[in-house]
Structure 1
Amino acid sequence: MRMLIVCAILAIQTTAAMADKVNLYAAGSLRAALGDVAQDFARASGHEVATTFAPSGLLRQRIEKGEPAQVFASANMKHPKTLEAAGKAGPVTRFARNKLCAIAQPGVAVTTDNLLSVLLDPAVRVGTSTPKADPAGDYAWKLFARADKVRPGALAALDAKALKLTGGPTSAPAPKGRNKYGWVMENKRADVFLTYCTNAVLARKEVPDLQIVTVPDNLSVGAEYGLTLLR
């Protein structure tokens, strides 16, 4: 987290030196950390920092269409590197890491050891973010691919049953001020939801009965966050 904050401040400072207003586009999972950084920097420097938090893939598409982002903090390396390759962004720095956890409803009998069996249970609704639009969805499918090596056929089964509930262009938005994962689970739209561990903690702050389940090592998927300045 310290690395995240340092990199973000340096990026904002670099941009602020060239403009009175800084447009920061960042992954939704960075809202808590970078929102505070942006506010603190604005107060200390006098430079306005306008923040836009959304799924990284959707932000990349908006930048490609010409929206005036100046700093892009993505939940993966792929989206900022795509912009770099297109000449729209400078070099990409890996500035943070995350990993997937499972959030479960209080009545689900799930542990780290039986997580895969629970995910494959036909009676259990598995929620994810939307692949391509939101890296959290891409990471969920990487977890499914790992599961296939442990239990052949798991990838096809999970691909067929997973509910893409967040992160897509048509996903239902959570009410203002609500954590979208806590909101989804509170409304019983999934029995188990795969998301970043940082999101899981925030969801349980809003919905204390939720369980947070650590993904076993043989299924664990890490997330690398990339930061770049737009041209």
Structure 2
Amino acid sequence: MNKKQILALIGIAVTSCFLAIALPLITPTPLIAQSNINLLISAAASMTDALEEIQPIYEQGKPNVNIRYNFGSSGALQQQIEQGAPADVFISAAKRQVDALEKKGLLVPGTRINLANNRLVLIVPNNTTGINSFFNLADARIKRIAVGEPRSVPAGQYADQVLKKLGIFDQVKSKLVLAKNVRQVLAAVESGNADAGLVYATDAKISNKVKVIVAADEKYHSPIVYPMAVIKRSKNVPAAKEFLAFLSSNQAKAVLKKYGFIVN
């Protein structure tokens, strides 16, 4: 091997060493934003179908974000958050639960917004006849009336208000069957385990086993509104804010309208 060949080999070796050292320094590392983000959304049970349809639409545009849901009664979800259970976003079926979290400083300031509104309706099994108003709930043939537990289920709170405003609460209170969330009320009427029930219009809309008799006059109950906000303990506040912004988009509103929610 002559001198030129030796020098060439040395040059190649030096260049290789330099590249081995320099390349890690100049190769960009993946951005944190590109890593997978898991968002846990605690939401009122009445939002189940709409939010589940929204999930793949959102994830298609945000492939690094995984949405998971925790559905239940708004009161139970509020208690979970107060007790430290993980959640990035809370969507309630009433203001009271979000008000309570806000007063305790558990929400990210400035993230609270109203998502939608709803109506309270009286439903019965499809084969029921002769029922045309709330006052028929006092009839002897109506044995069981399913409603949400008023202390934790907003639909139950609204039902309680309506029955009292109409002056029939004392006549029907012995018939009331309390459920843990509004979907349990719907299931009780669908199965015939209850002769009637009070649910949201959106719940009645998804069932072909019940029929709506009448919608409650809105003057008889508090406004049915769905406020949402980011939870302060969230480890993904920016991503949670982006999800809330999407829920307020026209694309998400179209899904909510499809399921009967009232949106502006």
The letter of the residue matching 2:227 is G
Quote the residue 2:170 is aligned against: 156
Q: Give the unaligned 5+ runs of structure 1.
A: 1-15, 149-153, 169-178
Instruction: Decide whether the 8 Å contact of 2:147 with 2:185 is kept in 1.
Output: no
Quote the residue 1:110 is aligned against: 131
Q: State the alpha-carbon separation in 2 of the partners of residues 21 and 227 from structure 1.
A: 18
Instruction: Decide whether the 8 Å contact of 1:77 with 1:94 is kept in 2.
Output: no
Q: Give the unaligned 5+ runs of structure 2.
A: 1-32, 233-264
Query: SS at 1:68's partner residue?
Result: coil
Quote the residue 1:167 is aligned against: 181
Is 1:22 aligned to 2:39, yes or no? yes
Query: Quick one: structure 1 residues 17 and 227, their matched pair in 2 at CA, closer, same or farther if it must change by over 3 Å?
Result: farther
Instruction: Decide whether the 8 Å contact of 1:104 with 1:212 is kept in 2.
Output: yes
Q: State the alpha-carbon separation in 1 of the partners of residues 130 and 93 from structure 2.
A: 30
Q: How does 1:32-111 map to 2 (within 5 A)?
A: 32-46=49-63, 47-90=65-108, 91=110, 92-105=112-125, 106-111=127-132
Q: State the alpha-carbon separation in 2 of the partners of residues 218 and 49 from structure 1.
A: 34
The letter of the residue matching 2:139 is D
Instruction: Decide whether the 8 Å contact of 1:38 with 1:51 is kept in 2.
Output: no
Q: How many residues align?
A: 194
Q: Among residues 139, 146, 159, which one is paired with 1:140 in the alignment?
A: 159
% identical aligned pairs: 24
| CA distances 1:118-154 after superposition (whole Å, capped 9, x unpaired) | 1112331211111122111101001112112xxxxx2
Moved over 6 A (4+): 16-19
Instruction: Decide whether the 8 Å contact of 1:101 with 1:215 is kept in 2.
Output: yes
The letter of the residue matching 1:184 is A
Quote the residue 1:122 is aligned against: 140
| CA distances 1:96-129 after superposition (whole Å, capped 9, x unpaired) | 1001111112223112xxx132111233121111
Please identify the structure whose Cα radius of gyration is greater. 2
Instruction: Decide whether the 8 Å contact of 2:46 with 2:203 is kept in 1.
Output: yes
Query: SS at 2:41's partner residue?
Result: strand
The letter of the residue matching 2:55 is A
| CA distances 1:22-49 after superposition (whole Å, capped 9, x unpaired) | 1111101111111222222122212111
RMSD of the alignment, in Å? 2.4
